[in-house]
């Protein structure tokens, strides 16, 4: 998921959000149509998998710490993206989950006649 997310971002990727370029576009396709933070999701899945493969449960402790740090990072980044993209990002937030994909897509409620 992380590699796919980086590939889809292409030239929009920046090492930090403080470097978001004025010409950046909001990407909402590919893995970004599933979750808003696919790169972080990939990392969050990788850490417990490494602990299992290494058969070393002590790796879960730094993994839990990493999860907490990444989650706080996501919140800060989203504030920057709201500032940069405004209402377009707010709408994207309503439509797309932050980190955990939905099992079923939600539909807009239909009006009864």
Structural domain harbouring 50? 2-14+25-95
How many domains does the structure of the chain reveal? 1
How much of the chain exceeds pLDDT 90, in percent?
20
Q: Which of 3-7, 13-17, 62-66: highest mean pLDDT?
A: 62-66
What is the rounded distance in angstroms from the CA atom of residue 92 to the CA atom of residue 32?
10
Work out the pLDDT band at 111, boundaries 50, 70, 90: very low
In a domain, 111, yes or no: no
- Token couple for 76: 């800060």
For residues 64-96, b (16+ Cβ closer than 10 Å) or e, as one string?
eeebeebeeebeebbeebeeebeeebeebeeeb
In a domain, 8, yes or no: yes
In a domain, 104, yes or no: no
pLDDT > 80? residue 23: no
């Amino acid at each position: 998921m992380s590699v796919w997310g980086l590939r889809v971002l292409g030239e929009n990727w920046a090492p930090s959000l403080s470097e978001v370029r004025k010409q950046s576009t909001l990407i909402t396709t590919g893995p970004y149509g599933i979750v808003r933070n696919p790169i972080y999701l990939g990392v969050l899945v990788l850490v417990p998998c490494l602990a299992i493969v290494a058969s070393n449960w002590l790796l879960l402790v730094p993994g839990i710490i990493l999860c907490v740090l990444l989650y706080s990072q996501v919140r800060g980044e989203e504030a920057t993206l709201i500032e940069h993209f405004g209402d377009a990002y707010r709408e994207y937030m309503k439509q797309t989950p932050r980190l955990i994909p939905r099992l079923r897509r939600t539909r807009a409620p239909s009006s009864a006649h």
